[in-house]
Structure 1
Amino acid sequence: MLFSTMSFACMNVIVKHLSDVSSYQIVFFRSLSSLFFTFGFLIKNKIPIIGKNNFLLIMRSITGATSMLFFFMSVKYLSVGTAVSLRYIAPIFAAIFAGFLLRERVRPWQWVFFAISFIGVLVLKGLDTEINTYGLMLILMASVLSGLVYVIISKIGNSEHPVVIVNYFMVIATVMGGLLSIGNWVTPSGWEWLFLFSLGVFGYFGQVFMTKAFQTATTNVVAPIKYVEVIFTTILGITLFNEIYTFWSLLGISLIIGGMVLNVWYKSKFKR
């Protein structure tokens, strides 16, 4: 899980570095370079590329691609650590969607932990004068859509191979990013080409290491560690981009991550 968080943190700071490149292009290259791994895995293991639940797979992919686009756009307006922290409130929206669409029950203590995280959002918006309102709206929309992705994947269940789900996502995100880039193309130069193609590599291995972590150890042990991504990303943001985090931004981030970690820990008690 630590290797996973480091991979995702590297991907996050590369997105921040590519500030002159269109977010549509970033989605395109991040997805295109991942297809090399997903198609390769499916072909090597003779797994059918076309899934059984095509409607749900397409809906998951469109929703996920849009969420990814909003996240990449938000990084241009927010410090990268703040953007990643706010993206992690997605479980709140997932719980709301699951209640309506899947009739899943959220326990009272979970709402308490969600409230702690939401207070963190209010602290960031209300007390941190450095935060950009437009960037905040973008990352909140990304989190809402990410929460919907969780519910769609839950609806798909075990009927599809995980790589099939990811492959659909990458194909549709590549097409979406490519089409949107047509009128917004900025030709990369020099090292930007390498950075763009490395996004898919870091993203893919982040997913692989995360999957292996959940397969190897219990959820209550490894799930909270994924929030270390915020720490790694924040440190890289300070080191590479001289980002400044005020007391209020650090307090808000701590409340967001603290509430989410408590939620993961509490949920794991009922899965033993």
Structure 2
Amino acid sequence: MYRTPIAYNPFARLKMALKSQKRKRSSIVLGIIATLLASLSFTFMSACARMLEPMASGETTFFRGLFGLLFIPLLSLESGEPFYTGKFKGFLSLRGLFGSIALFFYFLSIEGLTLGDAQILSQLAAFFMCLMAPLFLSEKLPPQAIPGLAVIAAGTALVVQIWNYSSFNLYAVYGMAGGFFSAAAYIVISHLAEKGFRSNTEIVFYFQIYSIVVGLFMMKNETFTMPAGVEWLWAAGLGLCALSAQMFMTWAFQHVNSVIVSFLMYSEILFHILYGWLFWDERMTFWSWTGGSLIVAGSIMLMVFQPKGMARDTHHRKHGDSK
């Protein structure tokens, strides 16, 4: 634990992380590059989902899990971890379920929001995590976290424009629901961390399985659209890009301090905004820019209270991890 005010100053923590690096400068550069590549990979995954827009969200979630599952042996080989041990099946199943529901809501949200707005709302996971942690974990909410929560709440109100009925629509609710279920998944990750569980590969494996299950369940009320031609490439890209992001994140944590990685992962929002603008001519409103800035600022303020499980879990994001 920090014994000085630096504990509640994330920018001071970032400065300390940079100064405390004992690795070579080249190693730090590699870590930064790997983090940015992880952000880009998550953005590519979102772009693949947007390219599959004729496909319903349940079906997209299903293919995300199916193709992700096919790439699991590659992740296991790279990480050196087995993807199934049979331990903690209950908690891992719960994490997979919550993460898959969050992914489904994220895919729903990008059907009616810009990629930038959808990604901004996914950052609410930190907000919900702080609210839920005192209820489900052996943690208390420090008074110093309250300003960060207030800033995020204000930013969310601006992004969804709660005073404007046409802007505050169901898709915004989907985006917030995705953040909530991401936080629930992180709570389970924290429980696993407390029990000494450390296998990211097995967490990813369960996530793929439950993405398939959740996708199939949601598809019961949807019209199935079989991918055709290049759509198979986008469908495979859902799983491949998410796997690539996970591998890049692993390399990043191996080369640079986790505080630096956490700061740099906010570049994912910028990448989503740029992609939406370049390929779909999406325009962020003044309220989105202002509210998004507040959400990022508030999330950074909460970073010092973030349980280890959330900092290391990148499999939803989208995402995101929640993704």
Q: Helix, strand or coil for the counterpart of 1:78?
A: coil
1:258 to 282, 297, 315: 297
Match of 1:98 in 2: 133
Q: 1:125 aligned to 131, 147, 160, which one?
A: 160
Pick from 147, 170, 175: which aligns with 1:112?
A: 147
1:221 is aligned to 2:257: no
Write the distance in 1 (CA, Å) between the matches of 2:148 and 2:74. 41
| Of 39-48 and 205-214, the range deviating more from structure 2 | 39-48
1:9 to 43, 53, 67: 43
Query: Matches of 2:73 and 2:219 in 1, distance apart?
Result: 23
Which residue is equivalent to 1:36?
70
**Alpha carbons 2:161, 2:168 under 8 Å: kept:** no
Is the contact made by 1:31 and 1:173 (CA closer than 8 Å) also made in structure 2?
Answer: yes
Residue 150 (structure 1) aligns with: 186
2:22 matched to which residue of 1? none
Q: Which sections of structure 2, spanning at least 5 residues, go unmatched?
A: 1-34, 308-323
| Contact preservation (8 Å) 2:75, 2:243 | no
Deviations, residues 167-211 of structure 1 (Å, cap 9, x unaligned): 011112113213433553112222111101111011111112122
Distance 1:76 1:88, change over 3 A: same
Q: Which of 169, 177, 197 is the matching residue for 1:159?
A: 197
Question: Number of residues paired by the alignment?
Answer: 268
1:188 pairs with 2:222:
no
8 A Cα contact 2:125 2:183, kept in partner: yes
Aligned to 2:247: 208
Change (3 A) 1:13 1:82: same
Q: CA deviation at 1:266?
A: 7.4
Which secondary structure does the structure 2 equivalent of 1:142 belong to? helix
Q: Is the 2:158–2:287 contact (alpha carbons within 8 Å) kept by the matching residues of 1?
A: yes
Whether contact under 8 Å (1:52, 1:160) holds in the other structure is: no
* Per-residue Cα deviation, 1:33-86 (whole angstroms, up to 9, x for no partner): 111222344478572614311111111111111110011011101111101011
Distance (Å, rounded) in 1 between the aligned partners of 2:115 and 2:299: 19
Q: State the shift of 1:124 in Å.
A: 1.8
Partner of 2:88: 53
**In the alignment, what sits opposite 1:248?**
287
Taking only aligned residues, the RMSD between alpha carbons, in angstroms, comes to 2.2
Deviation at 1:249, TM superposition (A): 1.4
Q: Distance in 1 between matches of 2:305 and 2:81?
A: 39
Task: Name the CA distance, whole Å, in 2 between partners of 1:154 and 1:266.
Answer: 12
Question: What CA deviation, in whole Å up to 9, does each residue of 1:232-267 have, x standing for no partner?
Answer: 010110111111211111111111112112322676
Task: Flag the 1:89–1:47 CA change in 2: closer, same or farther, 3 A.
Answer: same
Query: What is the distance in 2 between the residues matched to 1:266 and 1:153?
Result: 15
Work out whether residues 161 and 167 of structure 2, in 8 Å CA contact, stay in contact via their aligned partners in 1: no
Percent identity, aligned pairs only, is 26
Is 1:168 the counterpart of 2:206? The answer is: yes
Deviation at 1:128, TM superposition (A): 8.2
When structure 1 is superposed on structure 2, of 82-91 and 116-125 the one drifting more is 116-125
Q: From the superposition, tell whether residues 49 and 96 of structure 1 become closer, same or farther in structure 2 (CA, over 3 Å).
A: same
Between 82-91 and 216-225, the greater mean CA deviation after superposition? 216-225
> CA offset at residue 22 of structure 1?
1.1
* Ranges in structure 1 where 5+ consecutive residues have no aligned partner: none
The answer to whether residue 122 in structure 2 is matched with residue 83 in structure 1 is no
Match of residue 239 from structure 1 = 278
Distance 1:239 1:132, change over 3 A: farther
Are 1:51 and 1:160, in contact at CA under 8 Å, matched by a contact in 2? no
